[in-house]
Amino acid sequence: MLIVKNIKKKFIKYNSKKQKEEFLANNDISFEAKKGEVVGILGPNGAGKTTLLRMIAGILKPDEGNINFDGFNYLENEIEIKKNIAYLSGNTKIYKSLSTYELLKMCCEIYEVDKQKVESRIKEISKILNMDNFLYNKIENLSTGQTQRVNIARCLVHDPQYYILDEATSGLDIISSQIILDFIKKEKQKGKTIIYSTHYMEEAENICDNVFMINKGKVIKVGTPKQIKKDTNTTNLRDAFFDLIGGERDEK
């Protein structure tokens, strides 16, 4: 189980007068994600979703609070935790000069996949994601959809328990987005925990068991999509969000 407790993260930014200014990207965020659960982190751009997910993935360190994976925390067990998570973001880029096969092999080595099983694991993943026809092509020559499949493939090699997906469908066409949504559904069925951030409310409504709506670094609502809609007396999460922020429509 993933437990995120009282997370705070400050950044320094420069105001219009070029003076340093502190701002809280995440302010006292807490939630839990159980086995086989898809947890949606929803919010507009700049709400603090990426910062939160980067902290969960161990790329950033929280200023306060702690993150706990099955009893392990980053301070003491960083490598062990990272072995059991996969992080995929809309901004995540992969090594374009490598071929898909080389990238997957490198990931298998880094994640210490049993040497005897590396070849069969790559073939298996290639089959699942339908990558056989470009497995040995350089990533720089692949289409956006194919590249996104390679990105998913690198997350699968070590069969992690936790997937941290940060706006993974952002900027993708319908087909490429669907590949990712299908992937989430399949992994959920296998009992994997998925933390999924997006600003596409409809997408979250379809796949998330639990939703955390955040705005300006703070959690503004927690619950199942159904419950949130009921509480806000709305028919979809988009309207629910606007209802919760008091009708502010300054950020998309």
Partner 1 sequence: MKSKVLNILKKELREMFRDKKSLSMMLVVPIMIPLLVIGMSALFEMQMNKSVDDYNKIGFNYEMNEVEKQLAKQTKIKTILASEKELKEKYKNNEIDLYVIKRDNNYIINGEDNETTSYSSSLVENYFSLYKSYLQNEYLSKNNIPANNVINIINVEKNIKQADNYFASFITSYAFLFIIMAITISATYPATDTTAGEKERGTLETLLTFPIKSRDIIVGKFLSVSISSIITGIISLILTIISLMFANNKFSIYKDVNLMLSPTSLIFAAIVIIAYSFLISGLCIAIASKCKTFKEAQSALTPLTFISFFPGLIAFMINIKTTALYALIPFLNYTLIFTDITNGSINYLYIILMLISTIIVILSVLVVIIKQYKSEKVLFSN
The residue ranges that bind partner 1 (CB under 8 A) are: 54, 57-61, 78-80, 82-83, 85-87, 89, 91-98, 102, 106-107, 109-111, 154
Shortest distance, position 89 Cβ to partner 1, whole Å: 7
Shortest distance, position 106 Cβ to partner 1, whole Å: 6
Shortest distance, position 205 Cβ to partner 1, whole Å: 28
Distance, in Å, from the CA atom of 136 to the CA atom of 1, rounded to the nearest integer, reads 37
- Toward partner 1, which CB reaches closer, 37 or 166? 166
Strands 38-42 and 72-73: unpaired
- Toward partner 1, which CB reaches closer, 131 or 155? 155
- Toward partner 1, which CB reaches closer, 81 or 244? 81
In the chain, which ranges are E strands? 2-14, 20-33, 38-42, 64-69, 72-73, 85-89, 162-166, 193-198, 210-215, 218-223
Can you read off the two tokens belonging to residue 159? 């069969």
- Toward partner 1, which CB reaches closer, 17 or 93? 93
Shortest distance, position 47 Cβ to partner 1, whole Å: 17
Distance, in Å, from the CA atom of 46 to the CA atom of 50, rounded to the nearest integer, reads 8
Shortest distance, position 211 Cβ to partner 1, whole Å: 24
248 CA to centre of own chain: 26
Q: Are the CB atoms for 195 and 56 separated by under 8 Å?
A: yes
Burial class (CB in 10 A: 0-12, 13-18, 19+), 141: exposed
- Toward partner 1, which CB reaches closer, 80 or 124? 80
